[in-house]
């Protein structure tokens, strides 16, 4: 047996930072250095004291500025990431019946978490094939509408828009913005809950959920908590609300995660805020999709240009190129996590375009992919 031989990329084709994963994603070195510098008086200190509470405070204030949240909107946070937030929503946001757009792994997962809840009616699930997204349908029997801003598994983005003619009080709009928040433009008047975790555009680690909530969402949280419905305390949004207002979490958070997120938020705000971050993602998307469209052996997976994600791109290859081989060769050169979403089962690479990722590194990456394609084993 001999070791597998890998193609070695010339130095000028190795991106300065080789992290292109869609989540967890690149954490900027400057943020890690700032964390190390702050560590002696920050890590290992009480989350009930000012050193940590001030970081939570900054996160809540900076998110309010970043998204231009109107008066009365509040930023809640808790532990467990987006997946746990779905369970929190099952108890604390959905009254009886929800409608879900399911067009990939993540949006389908929320729908199935709801489907299993004995205290709720069966959800209305509207599906469309991978690589597309369906539209909401106003329905008087539905009290919450759920969809992702960006379906990370397929690289499809959707507009955040209320269903036609539905008031917030009648149907809350719950947007899974885990991969979209901080990289895609959004109008906060169009959502009631815009929730996410910090390991994507916010270039931090996983394990937290953050939810920007409208007054209608807060009223729903308070009403359901007071309704006598049993809610496990660790995912009780009314308890999270109470703690968030004090710049705390109900139980102990990961302090490093909070710090890195605060750092990324400040980095985005210093450069010009959401419009700056979204423009940077637009530029990165143009680099990757422009290349794929012009390629004779590759093409964007998502057919409609307006639905192609500007935070993570999915690129299909024709049968003459083995995308798994490409991803493995890139990995052997320390360029990591370009593999397509496992369960999608396509001959595809998936490349994150989050704000922390340098557009120049994406330009280098596509040249590296072309270099590898020319050297691919024939079959
Ligand atoms: C990554 C992701 C999730 C899962 O987030 P966790 O923090 O791992 O629970 C959910 N939804 C979307 C759209 C995602 O991109």
**Predicted confidence (pLDDT) per residue in 65-98, tens digit:** 999 999 999 999 999 999 999 999 999 999 999 9
Distance CA 205, CA 256 (A): 8
Distance 197 CA to ligand 1 centre (A): 7
Strands 98-102 vs 124-127: parallel, antiparallel or unpaired: parallel
Distance 84 CA to ligand 1 centre (A): 10
In ligand 1, the atom with minimum distance to the C-alpha of 179 is 15
Distance CA 265, CA 273 (A): 9
Q: What is the pLDDT of residue 2?
A: 52
- 0.95 exceeded by pTM: yes
The last residue of a domain, from among 269, 293, 318: 269
Distance 83 CA to ligand 1 centre (A): 6
Cβ proximity of 198 and 261 under 8 Å: yes
Domain with 306 in it:
17-27+273-374
The answer to whether residue 10 sits within a structural domain is: no
In this structure, are 190 and 294 located in the same domain? no
The answer to whether residue 246 sits within a structural domain is: yes
Phi, psi of 348 (to 5 degrees): -145, 150
Domain count, the chain: 2
User: Any bridge partners for residue 74, and if so which?
Assistant: 213
In this structure, are 192 and 317 located in the same domain? no
Per residue in 254-278, pLDDT (tens digit) is 999 999 999 999 999 999 999 999 9
In this structure, are 66 and 200 located in the same domain? yes
The answer to whether residue 224 sits within a structural domain is: yes
CB atoms within 10 A of CB 343: 9
Cβ proximity of 334 and 162 under 8 Å: no
How high is the mean pLDDT of the chain?
97
The last residue of a domain, from among 269, 299, 322: 269
Name which of 274, 204, 201 is nearest 22 in CA terms: 201
Cβ proximity of 152 and 177 under 8 Å: no
Cβ proximity of 54 and 247 under 8 Å: yes
Per residue in 106-164, pLDDT (tens digit) is 999 999 999 999 999 999 999 999 999 999 999 999 999 999 999 999 999 999 999 99
pLDDT bucket at 295, cuts 50 / 70 / 90: very high
Distance 152 CA to ligand 1 centre (A): 8
Distance CA 277, CA 280 (A): 5
The answer to whether residue 303 sits within a structural domain is: yes
Residues with a CB atom less than 6 Å from ligand 1: 23, 81-83, 106, 148, 152, 176, 178-179, 197, 206
Cβ proximity of 307 and 158 under 8 Å: yes
Work out the average pLDDT over 171-182: 98
Q: State how far Cα 332 lies from the chain centre.
A: 27
Cα–Cα–Cα angle for 358, 359, 362, rounded to 5 degrees: 95
Q: What is the DSSP letter of 121?
A: P
H/E element, 313: strand 312-317
Distance CA 296, CA 318 (A): 9
In this structure, are 248 and 307 located in the same domain? no
Q: What is the pLDDT of residue 1?
A: 46
Helices (H), the chain: 29-42, 50-67, 81-92, 105-115, 215-226, 237-245, 255-271, 274-294, 323-332, 359-374
In this structure, are 23 and 133 located in the same domain? no
The answer to whether residue 192 sits within a structural domain is: yes
In this structure, are 121 and 214 located in the same domain? yes
Name which of 277, 275, 289 is nearest 355 in CA terms: 277
The last residue of a domain, from among 269, 302, 324: 269
Cβ-proximal residues to 306 (8 Å cutoff; 6+ apart), any chain: none
In this structure, are 216 and 116 located in the same domain? yes
Above pLDDT 70, what percent of the chain?
99
Q: What is the pLDDT of residue 75?
A: 98
The answer to whether residue 1 sits within a structural domain is: no
The answer to whether residue 2 sits within a structural domain is: no
In this structure, are 58 and 89 located in the same domain? yes
In this structure, are 200 and 338 located in the same domain? no
With the most atoms of ligand 1 within 8 angstroms of its CB, the residue from 21, 22, 81 to mutate is 81
Cβ proximity of 82 and 176 under 8 Å: yes
State the CATH number of the domain containing residue 55. Answer: 3.40.640.10
Cβ-proximal residues to 51 (8 Å cutoff; 6+ apart), any chain: 41, 42, 45
Distance 375 CA to ligand 1 centre (A): 35
In this structure, are 138 and 238 located in the same domain? yes
In this structure, are 204 and 279 located in the same domain? no
Cβ proximity of 173 and 213 under 8 Å: no
Per residue in 39-68, pLDDT (tens digit) is 999 999 999 999 999 999 999 999 999 999
Q: Whose CA is nearest to atom 5 of ligand 1?
A: 82
In this structure, are 215 and 246 located in the same domain? yes
Q: Is the pLDDT of residue 379 over 70?
A: no
């Amino acid at each position: 047996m001999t070791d597998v031989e890998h193609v070695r990329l010339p130095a000028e084709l190795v991106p300065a930072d080789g992290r292109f994963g869609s989540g967890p994603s690149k954490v900027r070195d400057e943020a890690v250095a700032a964390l190390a510098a702050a560590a002696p008086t920050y890590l290992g200190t009480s989350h009930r004291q000012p050193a940590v509470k001030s970081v939570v405070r900054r996160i809540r204030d900076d998110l309010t500025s970043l998204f231009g949240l109107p008066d009365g909107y509040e930023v809640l946070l808790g532990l467990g990431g987006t997946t746990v937030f779905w369970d929190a929503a099952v108890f604390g946001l959905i009254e009886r019946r929800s409608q879900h757009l399911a067009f990939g792994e993540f949006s389908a997962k929320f729908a199935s978490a709801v489907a299993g809840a004995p205290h709720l009616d069966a959800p209305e699930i509207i599906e469309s094939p991978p690589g597309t997204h369906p539209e909401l349908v106003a329905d008087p029997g539905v009290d919450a509408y759920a969809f992702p801003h960006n379906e990370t598994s397929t690289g499809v983005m959707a507009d955040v828009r209320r269903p036609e003619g539905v008031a917030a009080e009648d149907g809350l709009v719950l947007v899974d913005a885990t991969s979209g928040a901080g990289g895609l433009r959004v109008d906060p008047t169009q959502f009631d809950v815009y929730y996410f975790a910090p390991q994507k555009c916010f270039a931090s680690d996983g394990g937290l959920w953050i939810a920007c909530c409208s007054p209608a969402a807060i009223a729903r949280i308070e009403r359901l908590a007071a309704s006598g419905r049993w809610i496990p305390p660790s995912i009780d949004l009314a308890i999270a609300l109470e703690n968030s207002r004090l710049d705390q979490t109900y139980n102990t958070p990961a302090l490093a995660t909070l710090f890195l997120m605060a750092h990324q938020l400040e980095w985005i705000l210093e450069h010009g805020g959401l419009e700056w971050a979204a423009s940077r993602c637009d530029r990165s998307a143009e680099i990757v999709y422009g290349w794929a469209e012009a390629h004779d052996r590759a093409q964007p997976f998502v057919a409609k240009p307006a639905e192609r994600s500007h935070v993570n791109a999915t690129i299909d290859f024709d049968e003459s190129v083995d995308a798994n081989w490409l991803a493995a060769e890139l990995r052997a050169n320390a360029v990591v996590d370009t593999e397509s979403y496992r369960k999608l089962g396509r001959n595809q690479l998936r490349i994150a375009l989050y704000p922390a990722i340098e557009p120049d590194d994406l330009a280098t990456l596509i040249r590296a992919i072309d270099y590898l394609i020319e050297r691919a084993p024939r079959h």
